[in-house]
Amino acid sequence: MSAVSAKLPMWRYALDAGCLGLALFLGALGLADAYGTSAHYLLCCLGGIIAGLSLAWAHVYFRLQAWKTMALFAGLYLLLGTPLATPREALYGVLPTFESLRVLLSGVVFSWKDMLTVAPPVGAYGGVLIVAFLATALTGLLAGLTAWRLRAPYWTLLPLLAMFVVGIAFGTRDVPLPMLRGGAFMAVLVGWLAWRRHIGSIVADGFRSLNHTEADVRSVRDGLVRRVALGAVVLLGASGITAAAADLITPPIPRQVLRDAVEPPVDLYTYPSPLTNFRKYTKTMAERTLLTVTGLPEGERVRLAALDSYNGMVFNVDPKSGGNFAPVGDSADIRTSGSQAQRAGGELGIRIGDYAGVWLPGGGRLTGVGVDEEGREQLARSLFYSDEAETALSSIGLQNGDSYTARVQFPVRAADAELENADFAQLRMPELANVPPVAAAKSVEYVGSARTALERARSLETALKTGGFFSSGAEGQVPSLSGHGAGRITGLLDAEDPIGDDEQYAVAMALMAREQGMPARVVMGFYPEKYDPAAAVELKGSDAHAWVEIAFESIGWVTFDPTPDDDEQPTPPEQEPRAVPQPQVLQPPPPEQQDAELPPETAPEPQEVQEEEPGFWETWGALVIGVAIGFGSLLLLASPFLLILGLKARRRRRRASAGSPGARISGGWQEVLSQGTDYGIIARGGATRREHAGALAAGFPTLGTLPLDLAARADKATFSTGPLDPDEAAGYWRDVDGQAAKMGAAASFWRRQRARFSPRSLLHEWLAALSARGAQAAPGRLGGPLGGPLGAKLPWRRPGGGARTLGKVNAMETKE
């Protein structure tokens, strides 16, 4: 397995690349049925193969390092992946966009799952093409590297077979052209391996030169032709025999692929709302037993589904929440999230009668489902459960005779005393669409002056329960339209005498509650008129009901029943007696009837509400707060720099106004040294002022002799025996400022800013102060890089005078 170091002729690369590319493409065709043989899929596979083999050739030919090859692969993936793997997300199908790059990056991890959970043909949306592109590009790169970097060609079979396995694993049960693909794949591999073995036998010294005579070459070529012809005949014969015996050797059980083992997320769009069958149960199937339940406690209900989405036509489980319906692995042990309130548990034995549908009858939060021996085993494997909605469904549906045991936690039955101080729970509910406008108007009217959460909810419930009449349109009842679309709810709420059943009243209350900001949903289920926990209860179609649940903080979902009692039915209008004909007698004319005086209106005239002009804070408050937060954040970020500027300004003022003119001149020289320190010019320790000035002049040639002049004037002021003129100190500071301006003009903008905000000179002064305190604690001990403690207050002798203290000395300052 030694590496091949020499470069091959270009025709050799082209021949190898052609054979490897064909083998990879035959393996990629295994995904054809999953992608639907679309043009995007074919281009994606071809582009990935060409990109992988091209990068492998570049790595070998130009002798690229491994990290460079990896970087180029990542770049090619993002560059070519946009038009090939994410054409729907790309601009004009070619140019990268933020969405296409996001899909490419996330698709490295998630596209494999999406490939298996999307029903074929998977199409080109959502990055599912990344599987084909990344697989072909990666196997192409590895195939090229093993073919051109390793002397033994057999290692190249690994990436080629890997691509073939990917095509099988991520494909479908319907194998596209199995015999043709398999035969062609084996023919390409055998032919290429024979070719490589032949080349290896005649090439000396690692593919470098051909050292054979013309006769030897001719004989070898003739032998190669004979072997290839014989191999082709053997392959064709084996392929024919295999094709003829395919029906005999193919197992009766269809092959299994990965998508058979991966359960796709449930598609709620395919399941109708159970509320659409409400009138069918209560009217057509009123006397038919839908299911039989044992163990149902007094007052509890059997739930079908909690419905939280409305589109103007039907209340349904939010179709976008399909991801919340997780497939149940072990149906006997369903893990649920912890409840905020204590919930009573129990076991319900349920046997399905005439009920048919996908929604699984239960009693609340499911903790386990045990299928009875006579029940179908497939039922347990087809369950999906949403803990948020406390709703379960079976993807294969329920049918007559199915039986199971449901372990449940029943919903909270909280008294009003417990709900008095509770607020509504802060939940994210799906947006409602096409809600009739009357729902919002009536909700405001019904809620009125209610303040607490419970009062507002009870106001809606009471208004509907006491202000309407019940009728399901059954025989002997007044006519009542079915359905709960926007038109039906508008007719219910606009009517002087509302008439409807559970379906309309529950939906009306839920819509009004949602308009008021309450987290409300409609629940459909069954409960009997009379309970018998010790016996089996037959639930008939007439026992179908719908109610409203509203979520309260720290308590959970609480039940509300807005439907009027079934005995609250409107009285049919009395029929007028039939008129009996009388003999024709001339009747006197009727007396004149005076117009009846109507009683004055008792309600006050509506008054126009005068809208108050918004104040300053109502109009500009948000803007002011935003600006203040932004300015405060900037100020916080800039505070270190402002602190440095403030300390330097304070230091300069102290030096410029310190004591006598000589002290001010000495302070001016220290300012010069601080400027040089901030610009990064630091002289050696123990240097004199003149040496410091030379270092400063070397760092800034534009200063000329100005640093030397300032150093000489500082020396003169330090060692002078006579008094100094204050104007001389002022002139010295003007020259210091002039030198600082010249240094700034000679430096670049960024170097000037670095010096301005550099804390180096401040740190040197701080270290000098520490050294001075250390020197005072240990007198006579000298140290530090400048021949003495940094910043130590040392006594200086001037001729003919006493001792004089200079104060703190900068890092560039020294003691003469």
Place of tokens 């002011």: 624
Between CA 20 and CA 518 the distance in angstroms is: 64
Out of 180-184, 340-344, 459-463, 722-726, give the one with best mean pLDDT. 459-463
Q: How much is the pLDDT for 302?
A: 92
Burial of 648 (0-12, 13-18, 19+ CB in 10 A): buried
The stretches of 485-615 forming alpha helices (DSSP H) are 486-494, 502-515
Q: How many CB atoms lie within 10 A of CB 154?
A: 12
207, pLDDT greater than 70: no
C-alpha pair distances (Å), 267 with each of 118, 170, 303: 10, 21, 21
Q: Name the residue among 590, 658, 694 with its Cα closest to residue 806.
A: 658
∠ CA(62), CA(66), CA(68), 5° rounding? 70
Q: How much is the pLDDT for 567?
A: 79
pLDDT tens-digit series, residues 14-60? 999 999 999 999 999 988 888 876 788 899 999 999 999 999 999 99
Across 619-640, average pLDDT: 76
Q: How many CA atoms lie within 13 A of 39 on its CB side?
A: 2
Across 590-610, average pLDDT: 49
Answer yes or no: are the C-beta atoms of 110 and 84 closer than 8 Å. Answer: no
Out of 99-113, 191-205, 377-391, 781-795, give the one with best mean pLDDT. 99-113
DSSP single-letter state for residue 333: S
More confident residue, 607 or 85: 85
Q: How much is the pLDDT for 397?
A: 85
pLDDT tens-digit series, residues 725-736? 888 888 888 888
Across 76-102, average pLDDT: 88
Q: In what helix (H) or strand (E) does residue 488 lie, and over which residues does it extend?
A: helix 486-494
Which band of pLDDT confidence, cut at 50, 70 and 90, is reported for residue 130? Answer: very high
620, pLDDT greater than 90: no
The stretches of 277-321 forming alpha helices (DSSP H) are 278-279
Across 520-532, average pLDDT: 91
Which band of pLDDT confidence, cut at 50, 70 and 90, is reported for residue 376? Answer: low
N residues, the chain: 816
∠ CA(390), CA(393), CA(395), 5° rounding? 155
Q: How much is the pLDDT for 715?
A: 85
Q: Among the listed ranges 200-204, 426-430, 565-569, which one has the minimum average pLDDT value? A: 200-204
Place of tokens 């659409």: 276
pLDDT tens-digit series, residues 236-288? 666 666 656 555 555 555 556 676 666 556 667 678 889 989 999 988 898 99
Q: Name the residue among 109, 101, 160, 158 with its Cα closest to residue 131.
A: 109
Between CA 256 and CA 258 the distance in angstroms is: 7
C-alpha pair distances (Å), 561 with each of 467, 491, 505, 710: 13, 20, 9, 95
More confident residue, 596 or 201: 201
Q: How much is the pLDDT for 803?
A: 32
Between CA 677 and CA 683 the distance in angstroms is: 9
Q: How much is the pLDDT for 765?
A: 80
Q: How many CB atoms lie within 10 A of CB 276?
A: 17
pLDDT tens-digit series, residues 771-788? 777 766 655 443 333 333
pLDDT tens-digit series, residues 291-317? 999 988 888 999 999 998 999 999 988
Residue-wise DSSP of 239-261: HHHHHHTHHHHS-SSPPP-HHHH
Q: Among the listed ranges 160-174, 181-195, 793-807, which one has the minimum average pLDDT value? A: 793-807
